[in-house]
Amino acid sequence: LWLRADPAGLHGSQPPRRCLALLHLLQLGYLYRCVQELRQGLLVWQQEEPSEFDLAYADFLSLDISMLRLFETFLETAPQLTLVLAIMLQSGRAEYYQWFGICTSFLGISWALLDYHRALRTCLPSKPLLGLGSSVIYFLWNLLLLWPRVLAVALFSALFPSYVALHFLGLWLVLLLWVWLQGTDFMPDPSSEWLYRVTVATILYFSWFNVAEGHTLGRATIHFAFLLTDSILLVVTWMTHSSWLPSGIPLQLWLPVGCGCFFLGLALRLVYYRWLHPSCCWKPDPDQVDGARSLLSPEGYQLPQNRRMTRLAQNFFPKAKDEAASPVKGEVNGVL
C-alpha cells in the first residue's frame, strides 16, 4: 500500500505489480524495502559528493524501514516470544539455546522501539541527536516494562492455552475501538486505514504507540493503567493455579524479578519523559508532502520528504498549538 501510494517515479524502476504482490504474499515486502535501502546506500557511498536528492531518498527509505521493522516486531517476534515462554513453562525445562533466543528476542524488540524513536527524532525541525545516555535509558525502560508484560501473558497462556486467543481478541477489540475513536488519518484510503488501526491495536497489546496529535500524557497514562490492570489479573490467575505448572521453572523467583523490572522500568520512563523527551514547535510548511519531491534543493529540483514519519513525529512530540503545522485534510503519503 505504501509503494502504491508513493508518487510515480519516486522509487525508480519497480518490478511488475504482480511480482510485488507475490513478494508481499510471501512476507518478503520488508526485505524488499531493505534491499532498496542497501542499493541506495551503496550508490551514495560510491559517490565522492552525493547529491542532496540521493541523500534525501536514502533517508526516506530508512524512515519507512524503521516503521516496518516495528510492525514486523510486534506482529511476529513478540507473539512468537510469548509462545516460546509458554511452551517452556508448560514443559518445565529449557535448553541454553532457548534462553539465548528469548534474551535476543527481548533485546530485538527493545531495539526496534529505540530505532523507531530515533527515526522520529530525525523528523524534528531542529533535528537534535539522541545522545548515548538518552538512548540507553529509552532502551532500558522499554526492555524492563516489556519483560513483565510478556511474562504475564505467557503465564496465562501456559495455564489456559485454550483461552489465550479469547483474551487477546477481547483486549485487541477494546484497543482497536480506542484507536478508531482517536480518529487516525494515516493511510491513503479508509480501507487501508483500518489495516493500520488493526496493526496499531496489536502493538498496543504489548507496548505504547501514539497515533493522535496533542500531548500524550493522558492517553499514555490510560493505556499504561489498562495494561497494568490486565497484567495483574493474569498474574493473580496464575497465583491461584500455579500448582498446575511443572516445578522445574522457578516461578516464585520470576514474579519478584518481574515486579522489580516493572518498577525500575517505570522509574526510567519517568526520568526520560521528565528530562530527556524534547519539546518542539512545528512550523507550517504547505509544500511538505509525504513522499513527494517537495523540498527544493540548491540545484533547483525537489527532494523527497517522508511525510508518514513526519506526521507520526508531530503526534509523538509535544508542540506549541499556535505554531503547530495544520495538516491538510486528505494529505497522505505522496498525494495531496
pLDDT in tens, 267-279: 999 999 888 876 6
Q: Compute the radius of gyration of the chain from its Cα atoms.
A: 22
Report how far residue 22's alpha carbon sits from residue 29's, in angstroms, rounded to the nearest whole number: 9
Q: How many CB atoms lie within 10 A of CB 204?
A: 23
| pLDDT(332) > 60 | no
The proportion of the chain whose per-residue pLDDT surpasses 70, expressed as a percent, equals 82
Nearest to 272 by CA among 147, 141, 97, 156: 141
Report how far residue 25's alpha carbon sits from residue 18's, in angstroms, rounded to the nearest whole number: 10
Residue 240, pLDDT score:
83
The structural domains of the chain, with segments of one domain joined by +, span: 74-241+250-278+308-316
Residue 325, pLDDT score:
42
Give this prediction's pTM. Answer: 0.85
Q: What is the dihedral of CA 76, 78, 79, 82, to 10 degrees?
A: 150
| pLDDT(242) > 70 | no
Average the pLDDT over 216-226 and give the result: 90
Q: What is the DSSP string of 182-205?
A: TT---SSSHHHHHHHHHHHHHHHH
Question: Whole-number mean pLDDT of the chain?
Answer: 82
